[in-house]
Structure 1
Amino acid sequence: MNPPAPAAERQHRLLLAVVTAAVFVSVLNSSMVNVVVPVIARDFRASEAQIGWVITGFLLSYAVAIPLYGRVSDAFSLRKVFAVGLWVFAAGSFVCALAPSLPVLVLGRILQAAGGAAVPALGSVAVTRVLPPGERGGALGLIISSVGVGAAVGPIVGGLVEELAGWHLLFYGSLLLSLLLIPGALRVLPDGGQKTPRSFDLPGGILLGLCAGLFLFGITQGQTASFLAPSSWGSFLLSALAAGLFVWRINTAPHPFVSPKLFANRPYVAAVAVGFFSMFANVSTLVTVPLLVTEANGLSPGQAGLVLTPGAAALAALSPFTGRLSDRIGVKLPIRAGLSLMLASTLFLSTLGAGGPAPLVAAGMLGVGTGFAFANPPTNNAAANALPSKEVGAGLGIFNGAFFLGGGTGPAVIGALIAARSEGPALNPLHDNPAAAPFSDAFLAISAALLLALCASLALSNGTGASSRVD
């Protein structure tokens, strides 16, 4: 018997509260730790290459785990898998808080990522399974708004806590918050397991994880060493090999990790491409702008953070609205409008922001944040609506994995472009500040990624109701 409407609505609100809080904690943990990495390096007397593993270890573990969690939730209880992820995240936080050395801290960060990857991977799956098409957009938008809040608050919290009590306390905070979320997750998340046993293709999952992890490792090596270094191109080669073996596996295994038909699903593949390139552009901009205003404008790190604030505020405020909008009018218009606004804003930054006054840069970031708020929740909605019910977990796991890889790839590629830029005028003929030419070119490259996202959006399905779901 279905629960009465008020009871069901209350259950949905509790579900959203738990998932949104979990996403906030996950993003808060990452953003507040990033700002204290220099202090951790000083305390452990670590070199730049050594301390980089605090971030790299986390990213690699995250990239491998995200697609695996999605598929596991198709075969087992989503509620229990989500809770296990929070327990592992809490264990990693505890190890980090007590870490007496850098290797132990890196181990804790790997555990944090292995558990924390369950949050984005399964949060969207839970919403998709509980809410029907036509009602998911607002919920997905609310979840994404918590990303903006966590990203904006994290650096402030990280800096204040480190100054007042030391960086170890940050991990105690992550530990406490994750433990508080576990009872709520066990109470309100859907069970979601298969009623009949379903085999889990472990070799296929390992190959997909290797493909993602090696690709991201090649990116990080390219950023820290060179894309011509053997550790970088060798990782890309091995990633391509793993991808080829993964394709072979899903086409030959009796019960593959995902159905090959998933990659023939044109609207779904289009949503994955839009997610990858839009995240590539968004995170690249978030990383490039602080470098620009500190080097070209002479701002302090705190002042650079203020330049980013308008965009983060727009993302947090507008995401629930744009998600609901995509439920009412379809996903195509909000996505294309958002990507177009992001493109106009990065071109503005390339022309006037690079080397220009800080208020102009903040205006450009407001445009990027607003555009991302219009594009991102509907893109999540488009991916969910394009999936058959039996592939929701695996499909959204791959979508979130591609989304995360876009965010990891963008800053490395754009950073390498800035570092390799030689003297001379900018490629943008409208830019007239040679001292900031590398940053102008960087925003031009980000604009190219947004053009690719716009092209991919042409293949999206615009369904808003149950007819948009392929079963």
Structure 2
Amino acid sequence: MTLQKKSFYPWLIFSVTSVGTFMATLDSSIVNVALPKIAGNLNVSLSLVQWVVSAYLLSICCLLPLFGRLGDMLSRRLVYNTGLLAFTLGSIFCGVSGHIGLLIIARIAQGVGAAMIMANAPAIISAAFPGPERGRALGLVGMIVALGSMTGPSIGGFLVDTFGWESIFFVNIPIGIVGFLASYFILVKDERRQGEKFDYLGAILFTLGMTSFLLVVSHGEEWGWFTITVITLAIVSLLSFSVFIYHEKHEPFPMIDLGLFNNWAFLSGNITGLLSYMAVFSNTMLLPFYLSSILNLSPSQIGLLITPFPIVLIIVAPISGYLSERVNPALLSTIGLTAIMLGLIWIAMLHTASALWEVAAGQAILGLGNGLFQSPNNNSVMSSVPPVKLGTAGGINSLVRSVGQVCGVAISVSILQWKQAGLLAGIYSPTLEQKANAFLTGYHTALGIGASFAAIGALLSFSRRVHIKSAKNK
């Protein structure tokens, strides 16, 4: 009996693709804790070193649909393996760069590889689990993505303190090599689809529109919302996306099949996914600042208080994925989004004298909600498209996740800074108490907005329960 016919083979595929997924999502957050060290060692400003993060995220968001489409056309295995190779080589160049310009270029190479991985891993797993086990597998994918995003700061902090900032890139090399070899020998070769052309104009228009949009969202507060630069970028983004949509509707082989969005299960699942990440990441960026500046905790204590999120997620996500095979996924995702909303409301009640258990409890509630939501939602989205569109659907699903993270962080930071500036305006030398109160007001307002995102998502998810059936009934 060949390996492909073994009963455990789909889970072997899952294990192989999980390596790349975890590594790619980990690198979206692990670099944050190293930015001060990188800025000091390379003698650059924090505003410039921030592009080490922005270049990576921009590359991923712009290229996810492109590589999802290429995976459908050429070979998901080929694109995924190439992504592992590009990511590993990019990691090497990041570690040996020694110059901020070279480091940013190397991060773009990493982002290209990460986009190849993230666009095709869900499609490979969905194809390997065509039956009722798909919900469980995709639930575990959601768990791995969240773990990569949430454990990055704690892992990065340990590596930077112990081995230097270069180590956060070098650690990817052995993992990437093992992942590439395992993928090359284990994943099944899929056939290339004949007679289809790649939509180059669509790719250019989408990249231009997405780049302009993310620059506005990420740097609008820093550059000024009404400056020429931001207004110009906003106009370019709007025009690019408008022309892109028109072009895709008339293109025989579009980069993104807009017809997928006529499917309510696919459309609503992606919208609720976007809202969930915007909600969760409204707290992800700001919580460490609250813990350090208000509660005066050390980095190790901050990392410890963040861990209830991934711990609860690890426990809940597989259970939720299993349940999504038997009950309506929309009901589970509704409960999950409601829990996320309640978790953000809980955290929004923290103050200058809050107990540490209150912080940990809020993180646990968010982990519970995220674990309950991601598994059934991913299952309903990926199960709503035909097999030949899995790569495109996987790319869009990953794009929604990345855009949700970027927007959640950008919106929460902008609200915090806006509130702080308003409350401290006219005060020449604010006291520590005034600064703390201004921060808390901004923090609580940002979390309230995040909770509203989750509430809207919960209502939308509940409304779609009659349109989405469990995998068991399909």
TM-score (norm 2): 0.91
What is the aligned counterpart of 2:471 among 455, 459, 465? 465
* 1:441 and 2:454 are equivalent in the alignment: no
Distance 1:245 1:307, change over 3 A: same
Whole-Å separation in 1 of the counterparts to 2:95 and 2:3: 44
1:417-432, aligned counterparts within 5 Å? 417-421=415-419, 422-423=422-423
Whole-Å separation in 1 of the counterparts to 2:193 and 2:437: 64
Residue correspondences, number: 458
Whole-Å separation in 1 of the counterparts to 2:90 and 2:232: 30
1:193, distance to aligned residue in structure 2 (A): 3.8
Contact 1:27 1:150 in 2 (8 A): yes
Whole-Å separation in 2 of the counterparts to 1:163 and 1:154: 14
Contact 1:223 1:413 in 2 (8 A): no
1:64-463, aligned counterparts within 5 Å? 64-352=62-350, 356-421=354-419, 422-423=422-423, 434=437, 436-457=440-461, 458-459=463-464, 461-463=467-469
Distance 1:4 1:190, change over 3 A: closer
Whole-Å separation in 2 of the counterparts to 1:406 and 1:195: 32
Whole-Å separation in 1 of the counterparts to 2:195 and 2:8: 31
Contact 1:145 1:317 in 2 (8 A): no
> Deviation per CA, 1:102-123, whole angstroms, max 9, x where unpaired?
1001110000011012222111
Question: What is residue 430 of structure 1 aligned with on the other side?
Answer: none
Look up the equivalent residue of 2:69 and give its one-letter code: R
TM-score (norm 1): 0.92
Whole-Å separation in 2 of the counterparts to 1:5 and 1:119: 23
Whole-Å separation in 1 of the counterparts to 2:155 and 2:305: 17
1:5, distance to aligned residue in structure 2 (A): 10
1:205, distance to aligned residue in structure 2 (A): 2.2
1:73, distance to aligned residue in structure 2 (A): 0.9
Whole-Å separation in 2 of the counterparts to 1:134 and 1:10: 15
> Deviation per CA, 1:333-382, whole angstroms, max 9, x where unpaired?
21001011111111222234686333212211110111011001111111
Contact 2:340 2:365 in 1 (8 A): yes
| Higher mean displacement: 352-361 or 142-151 | 352-361
Contact 1:78 1:189 in 2 (8 A): no
| Higher mean displacement: 159-168 or 61-70 | 159-168
Question: What is residue 428 of structure 2 aligned with on the other side?
Answer: none
| Higher mean displacement: 286-295 or 56-65 | 286-295
| Higher mean displacement: 395-404 or 181-190 | 181-190
Distance 1:230 1:136, change over 3 A: farther
1:272, distance to aligned residue in structure 2 (A): 0.7
> Deviation per CA, 1:376-435, whole angstroms, max 9, x where unpaired?
1111111101112232211221121011100011111110101010339xxxxxxxx955
Contact 1:74 1:193 in 2 (8 A): no
Look up the equivalent residue of 1:464 and give its one-letter code: S
Whole-Å separation in 2 of the counterparts to 1:44 and 1:171: 16
Distance 1:350 1:100, change over 3 A: closer
Distance 1:348 1:140, change over 3 A: same
Question: What is residue 428 of structure 1 aligned with on the other side?
Answer: none
1:28, distance to aligned residue in structure 2 (A): 2.9
> Deviation per CA, 1:214-264, whole angstroms, max 9, x where unpaired?
211111212433333333333222122111111111111222223332121
Contact 1:343 1:450 in 2 (8 A): yes
Contact 2:325 2:472 in 1 (8 A): no
| Higher mean displacement: 240-249 or 145-154 | 145-154
Give 3-state SS (helix, strand or coil) of 1:345's partner: helix
> Deviation per CA, 1:116-141, whole angstroms, max 9, x where unpaired?
12222111111111211422111112
Whole-Å separation in 2 of the counterparts to 1:22 and 1:247: 31
Give 3-state SS (helix, strand or coil) of 2:464's partner: coil
Whole-Å separation in 1 of the counterparts to 2:382 and 2:41: 45
Whole-Å separation in 2 of the counterparts to 1:192 and 1:229: 49
Whole-Å separation in 2 of the counterparts to 1:354 and 1:230: 40
1:452, distance to aligned residue in structure 2 (A): 2.0
> Deviation per CA, 1:271-309, whole angstroms, max 9, x where unpaired?
110110101111221112112222222222322222211
Contact 1:54 1:105 in 2 (8 A): yes
What is the aligned counterpart of 2:12 among 3, 7, 14? 14
Whole-Å separation in 2 of the counterparts to 1:370 and 1:409: 22
Give 3-state SS (helix, strand or coil) of 2:468's partner: coil
Distance 1:263 1:144, change over 3 A: closer
Look up the equivalent residue of 1:57 and give its one-letter code: A
Where structure 1 has 5 or more consecutive residues not aligned to the other structure, the ranges are 425-432
Where structure 2 has 5 or more consecutive residues not aligned to the other structure, the ranges are 425-435
Look up the equivalent residue of 2:272 and give its one-letter code: V
* Runs ≥4 residues deviating over 6 A: 3-6
| Higher mean displacement: 441-450 or 21-30 | 21-30
- What percentage of aligned pairs have identical amino acids? 25
Whole-Å separation in 2 of the counterparts to 1:308 and 1:260: 38
Contact 1:345 1:365 in 2 (8 A): yes
Give 3-state SS (helix, strand or coil) of 1:463's partner: coil
Contact 2:324 2:471 in 1 (8 A): no
1:449, distance to aligned residue in structure 2 (A): 0.8
Contact 2:119 2:392 in 1 (8 A): no
